């Protein structure tokens, strides 16, 4: 089959790889219907982190189950399924705590040595704990909602988790740092699922701002750094935002998050700190902040969000503004790297 | 009147200072009945932070109102009152958020230029928002509960706040780092007020361990650093504690807190990070931690805790293991500095 392969920083190709097969009795093989490129895929593409040449790429996909191992009971061949970006057994203590991304038997699609989502098919370990079947199957689904379902594999749940970690609730005022797909989904989750009254999106790109407004952002601040902090403080009566979502993961975005949070406020940080920033503890201590952080346990939110997408009450699909065939995956990476696309979908 | 005065690192004396008087219409003057020395008073005593020579010391006191300004309505001369370690109006937005230590009109007793608690009397700004009257007055109080009331001025509320920030609730397993008065009060608050089932106290001093056990610690770990982390993990099925209270504020104690927290757990940090430590963000991010921090808004808890002390259902008094007269304040500092006393009370 064909799959995206990391060759070197700046070079992702499509090549022939062995078809996936069942290895463990808890495995499934899923034929990919839609996949996409994640902002975090760009870290290796940009050379910020190392990745072995020849490793497979991508961790976001939806597809149809082809085959299941003898121990799999919750999905069967023919089911149309949504996978979170990590597999998990959903039964271990970490999973029961709702931290499926720290599952005792978990792993990440696209990690070196595993199948990536950016390919024609994927071996899915721990299929019972990982895959969520879409009622009605692929035949019962309007193609128009495929982008929304695909967004659930990572960015929709990650953005929502950021807002959850930030303690957003009905009537909240929230600032969102990061206008990538995760930040935009934080806007959507905060407004539409958690009931925030006011969402200030930090954004300076017209295409992203437009999606942010459509997702419910009530204010947009283009400034960054100290100027961005000052702008948010001015919008919040001088006191800062009670809830802040950090969806970037750089030292600069952390400084902004701490600086714009109101005394006693909460920061939800879902931007992976790849560059391992150091946080000076005194400012958040002085500001009485509560900071929740971590890679989002997207699996926790999947069953509920699949239902909402099917019901037409939740649509993160507009984060996708470009679709290319798998064979053109290099174009997808280039478009996202150059910010010509917020998020690019790969059609089989 | 007589009051404790910081002369230099290692030298606190008692000297004659002007009697306090009303300055603002919102002031009260309180005659001190009991005061004490705080672990944070030792930072200047040990030369870790600078403090102007001649500045007054102490921020913990209980006493009797002598005089009130014309705008004061909630306390009157003769009332026996408990003061938190900072004054606050209890009406500004920060106070309404429950962060009275960030009051728009607040300040700290003993800060340079203000009256300290370690003296015969104190000018109390924002008396209405600050002081909590003890029903029945001093005459109605058994001297035996004075230590408990005095502990409410800082350590009892601070320890409880650490447990609150750590998300402790009925049935929780909690680890407490720090066996000073604040850490011990975190044990008491977690067990007695919040319903924790298991409290692991990190302690290697027999006197402190004994108080910790009396306050409800179910396990005591003497090891520190990586060994301490390993011991807590072993006590918690290998996964770490869901709730951790950090009551020290050093880089080492922070590393322990992050290291012993279970994935998805919560850390409540109330040890002031005087040395401005840097937190490496990757470990807590990887562990999905939520970290709440800040100087405790003790005023928030005072009315409830005063009632509990009077009812005999909450007694943080045993943190005091030494009492000396105000004139011997130098002995109090030396005893605490040398860890001969957990917390030393000053009797007028």
Of residues A81, A13, A202, the one with CA closest to residue A3: A13
The set of residues, in sequence order, having a beta carbon less than 8 Å from that of B84 and lying 6+ positions away, is B100, B130, B153, B154, B157, B298, B299, B302
Most A CBs within 10 Å, among B249, B281, B295, to test the A interface: B281
Mean per-residue pLDDT for B67-73? 98
CATH class, domain A159-293, is: alpha beta
Token couple for B284: 């807590």
The whole-angstrom distance between A266's CA and the closest CA on chain B is 8
More confident residue, B271 or A275: B271
pLDDT digits (tens, 9 = 90+) for A249-308: 999 999 999 999 999 999 999 998 877 688 999 999 999 999 999 999 999 999 999 999
Question: Domain ranges in chain A?
Answer: 2-154+297-347, 159-293
As a whole-number percent, the residues of chain B with pLDDT over 90 amount to 96
What is d(CA B164, CA B185) in angstroms, rounded to the nearest whole number?
12
Rounded to the nearest angstrom, the minimum Cα separation between A140 and chain B is: 37
Under a CB-based contact definition with an 8 Å cutoff, are residues B343 and B181 in contact? Answer: yes
Euclidean distance between CA atoms A22 and A70, whole angstroms: 10
CB environment A269-280: b (16+ within 10 A), e (fewer): bbbbbeeebebe
Q: Dig out the tokens for A321 from the structure.
A: 């503004």
Please tell me the distance in Å from A180's CA to the nearest CA on chain B. Answer: 20
**By the 8 A CB rule, do A196 and A173 touch?**
yes
Is the pLDDT reported for residue A67 higher than 90?
yes
> What's the pTM?
0.96
Q: Averaged over B240-256, what is the pLDDT?
A: 96
- Are A282 and B297 within 8 A, CB to CB? no
Measure Cα distances from A112 to A56, A155, B243, B283 in Å.
7, 21, 34, 22
Give the mean pLDDT of chain A. Answer: 96
Beta bridge partners of B14: B4
Token pair in block for residue B15: 């000297």
Q: How confident is the model at residue B263 (pLDDT cuts 50, 70, 90)?
A: very high
Of B280, B288, B291, the CB nearest to A276: B280
Q: Which of A103, A264, A295 would best serve as a mutation to test chain B binding (most B beta carbons within 10 A)?
A: A264
Lowest average pLDDT, out of A277-281, B43-47, B164-168, B281-285, goes to: A277-281
| Region class of B73: left (phi > 0), else alpha (psi between -120 and 50), else beta | alpha
At residue A221, the 3 state secondary structure works out as strand
Instruction: Assess whether pLDDT exceeds 80 at residue A348.
Output: no
- Contact flag A99-B263 (C-beta cutoff 8 Å): yes
Write the ipTM: 0.95
Distance CA A231, CA A221 (A): 7
Choose, out of A285, A297, A300, the residue to mutate when testing the contact with B (most B CBs < 10 Å). Answer: A285
pLDDT at residue number B31: 98
Question: How far lies B11's CA from each of B8, B46, B330, B333, in Å?
Answer: 5, 9, 7, 9
CATH placement of domain B2-154+297-347: 3.90.180.10
- Sorting pLDDT into bands at 50, 70 and 90, what band is B2? very high
pLDDT tens readout for residues B18-31:
999 999 999 999 99
pLDDT (tens digit per residue) in A97-138: 999 999 999 999 999 889 999 999 999 999 999 999 999 999
What is the spatial distance between Cα B125 and Cα B108, in angstroms, rounded to a whole number? 10
Position of tokens 């000297």? Answer: B15
Residue contact A277–B273, C-beta within 8 A? no
pLDDT of res. A274: 75
Query: Average of pLDDT values for B315-335?
Result: 98
pLDDT at B275 over 90: no
Nearest to A285 among B273, B281, B290 (CB): B273
Give A-chain residues touching B165 at CB under 8 angstroms.
290
Q: DSSP label at A193?
A: I
- Average pLDDT (A171-178) is 98
d(C-alpha B56, C-alpha B117), whole Å: 8
Average pLDDT score over residue span B215-225 = 97
């Amino acid at each position: 089959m064909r799959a995206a392969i990391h060759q070197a920083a700046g070079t992702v190709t499509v090549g022939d790889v062995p078809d996936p097969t069942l290895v463990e009795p808890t495995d499934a093989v899923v034929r990919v219907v839609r996949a996409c490129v994640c902002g975090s895929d760009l870290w290796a593409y940009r050379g910020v982190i190392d990745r072995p040449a020849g490793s497979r790429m991508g961790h976001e996909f939806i597809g149809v189950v082809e085959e299941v191992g003898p121990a799999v009971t919750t999905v069967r061949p023919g089911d149309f399924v949504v996978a979170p970006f990590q597999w998990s057994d959903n039964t271990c203590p970490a999973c029961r705590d709702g931290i499926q991304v720290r599952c005792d038997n978990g792993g990440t699609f696209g990690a070196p040595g595993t199948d990536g989502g950016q390919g024609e098919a994927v071996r899915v370990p721990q299929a019972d704990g990982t895959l969520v079947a879409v009622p009605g199957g692929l035949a019962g689904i309007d193609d128009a909602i495929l982008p929304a379902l695909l967004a659930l594999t990572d960015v929709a749940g990650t953005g929502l988790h950021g807002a959850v970690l930030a303690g957003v609730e009905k009537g909240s005022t929230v600032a969102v740092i990061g206008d990538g797909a995760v930040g935009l989904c934080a806007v959507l989750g905060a407004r539409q699922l958690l009931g925030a009254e006011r969402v200030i999106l930090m954004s300076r790109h017209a295409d992203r701002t437009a999606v942010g407004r459509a997702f419910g952002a009530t204010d947009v601040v283009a400034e960054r750094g100290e100027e961005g902090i000052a702008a948010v403080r001015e919008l919040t009566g001088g006191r800062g935002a009670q809830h802040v979502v950090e969806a970037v993961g750089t030292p600069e975005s952390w400084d902004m998050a701490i600086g714009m949070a109101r005394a006693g406020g909460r920061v939800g940080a879902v931007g992976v700190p790849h560059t391992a920033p150091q946080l000076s503890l005194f400012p958040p201590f002085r500001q009485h902040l509560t900071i929740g952080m971590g890679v989002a346990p997207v699996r926790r939110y999947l069953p509920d969000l699949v239902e909402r997408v099917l019901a037409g009450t939740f649509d993160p699909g507009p984060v996708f503004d470009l679709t290319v065939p798998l064979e053109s995956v290099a174009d997808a990476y280039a478009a996202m790297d150059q910010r010509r696309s917020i998020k690019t979908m790969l059609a089989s």
